[in-house]
Structure 1
Amino acid sequence: MRQGTTLRAIPAGGTRDAFIGLTAGLRKLVLISLAVIVLAAVAGAGPSTAVAGQAGTINTDGVSLMADIDDTTPIATMYAGERVDLFWGPEAGRYEVRYYGTVGWVWAEYLDPDGSAVGGGSSAPAGGSGGSAIVDADSLNVRADASTSAAIWDSFDLGTPVEVIGDAVNGFSPISYYGGTAWVATDYLSWNGTVSAPAPPAVSAERWIDVNRTTGLVTLYEGSTVYASYWGSLGWDSTDGAYYSTASGSYRVHRIHQPLEYTRFANAYITDWVGFDQYRANGFHSWTRDAAGNVLPNGAGLTGGCVALEPAQARAVSDFASIGMRVEVHN
């Protein structure tokens, strides 16, 4: 036994006296051990780890989306209630996220991640946590989150192929959706390649939309046949490729939303949103309106890059469009 160390039996109720009776060296060792345990518990209470298919909600107005983990240059401003996709984190107190097609970093304290996408929900679909499946329903809603109350972004027809990218949560599976993540009801996916009824016949001619940025003419096509044509108000910046321009290029429709909704870009309301340029957040929509749906006095003016149409014409475009439809913008 080391000289100067005395071991004593600790009687019931004598814990404090026994601690005092320890040598100074042993007391110091006990205190260090307790400190390590406390620090480990605190470290375990940090932000939740991002997992595949997870999303989150911004909890404060005016939150900066930073360019990189070591570059705090703001590249966008986010507001309370807005949704983001989580890619990585937390690292150095930040998450890597995607916000309306732009990838950057946000401080963890300003983000509320959704519940973990692993476990806690319904059981994983056949074939593991991901893989190819097809829609086994006449019409399957594509939602912003794993909930029946989440916003509906789209609907898929019977037989539509999807790529599942994670485990089910609350009965919903995360799917790859035009570079982002969306959610569909797991019960209406088929994993063995069969569906309840034959898929509807495909349209023989491609339906697509042409925009002449020089004249403002919007033309709906079926193959090479003109279906309809309308005049639209385009971006105020005529420099082709500028952020606030209606930029030339080939695009695909990624979101359709017909009800009245607020847009912070115009500080007003629009209907019949058909998004096609994710980088510039451009799309077709109605002339701007007030909260009651009335067209504003300047509602037909130039835009920040979108294509604004008379309300009835905007509805015709949104009825014609479908997710993935080709949009060609040219001079």
Structure 2
Amino acid sequence: MRQGTDSRAILAGEARGTITMTGLAARLRKLVLVACAVIAVVVGLCVAPSTAVAGQAGTINTDGVTLMADIDDTTPIATMYAGERVDIFWGPEAGLYEIRYYGTVGWVWADYLVPDGGGGDAVGGGSPAPVTGAGGWAIVDADSLNVRADASTAAAIWDSFDLGTSVQVIGDAVNGFSPISYYGSTAWVASDYLSWNGAVSAPAQPAAVAGERWIDVNRSSGLVTLYEGGSVYASYWGSLGYDQTDGNFNSTASGSYEVFRVYQGLEYTPYANAYITDWVGFDPERSNGFHSWTRDATGNVLPNGAGLTAGCVALEPSQARALSNFAYVGMRVEVHN
């Protein structure tokens, strides 16, 4: 009898235990549902960080922001301040971006970084948004257009662009001024003097001159010669591809080409993991072209900026600007030994 009684007691205990576990499971399910609801509300209320693209830059939006050693290592390696510009390599991942800050690579919380074109109160103002013209490109439609520090006629003049200069507009107009990408920063130009054309990516071809304008590149010597007809217009020494095997992808390959794009602004090149100006593309198969020595995100020439390239022709910055002023889309380029 004791044994039978004990069995019933055990069975009763098991039943009570089953009821207890069932109740616990129900409570857990309720907690999970509540948690999911809270997460859904939070996600609905928050704005996800902008996804970085290759070559994108951004602006730090707060003083005293820590640059961390790695995505899972919060060791401080630098302190950044509002308005400072950085290069973005990757992100967001786990709420962080991988960036380069004055040559130092590390990670920063997404809350403290405003990627170009990603919204927020970036230095220079204006709300980034799609603009007229394919890809945000426009052409200067004035003999000389002032490039200003802010959207006002009272703002400091940083530069001036000549008629036909191609510019990248990065946001909506403010007070009659459009924000443009300017050497890794934001500058402003009067919107009334920009000409929009969906296919524009380079200055228009200049007026006809006596004889064809074209560019000659000697692979053996590195001499770059600009011609008007049979007369030499200018000559420069260029840094060519490190691969000397003619025809390889990373070589400055022999051949007859045509210029397919001219852009004088600061832009990123993944081949050098750096920035360049005065891009004059002529070999689309290898992504080769003329450009300045490599620069950082603020436009300063890097210590090794004059080194060999991955196939392009790099020139001293003032010479690169002269060549980009000389060139136009459709211009003939001859590369030979």
| Fold match (TM-score > 0.5) | no
TM-score for both structures, normalised by structure 1: 0.44
TM-score for both structures, normalised by structure 2: 0.44
Q: Answer 1 or 2: which has greater helix percent.
A: 2
Q: Which has more radius of gyration?
A: 2
